[in-house]
């Protein structure tokens, strides 16, 4: 699975270009509302991280995110 995370206010990659890039890469696109080109380190980095986390859990399952030693928390 592939994810393209883009900002809704990114001056370098508008929504149409982000959609085209995601389609070309075979990726799902999620837009962070109000985010710019600085998603990884800008003021909305926590919103971006939360979107990535939710996407990972939905696509790959919550067990993927367990830390070593927390196997007893695995949902069966």
Residue 2 in contact with residue 26, Cβ under 8 Å?
A: yes
Q: What are phi and psi of 29, to 5 degrees?
A: -110, 135
Q: What is the pLDDT of residues 8-66, one digit of tens each?
A: 999 999 999 999 999 999 999 999 999 999 988 889 999 999 899 889 888 887 777 76
Q: pLDDT tens for residues 2-17?
A: 999 999 999 999 999 9
CA distance readout (Å), 64 to 2, 3, 34, 59, 69: 16, 17, 29, 10, 13
- The structure's pTM equals 0.76
Closest by CA to 16, choosing from 3, 27, 6, 26, is 6
């Amino acid at each position: 699975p592939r994810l393209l995370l883009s900002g809704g206010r990114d001056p370098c990659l508008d929504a149409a270009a982000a959609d085209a890039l995601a389609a070309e890469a075979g990726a799902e696109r999620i837009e962070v509302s109000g985010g710019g080109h600085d998603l990884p380190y800008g003021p909305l980095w926590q919103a971006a991280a939360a979107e990535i986390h939710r996407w990972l859990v939905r696509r790959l399952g919550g067990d993927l995110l367990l830390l070593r030693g927390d196997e007893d928390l695995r949902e069966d």
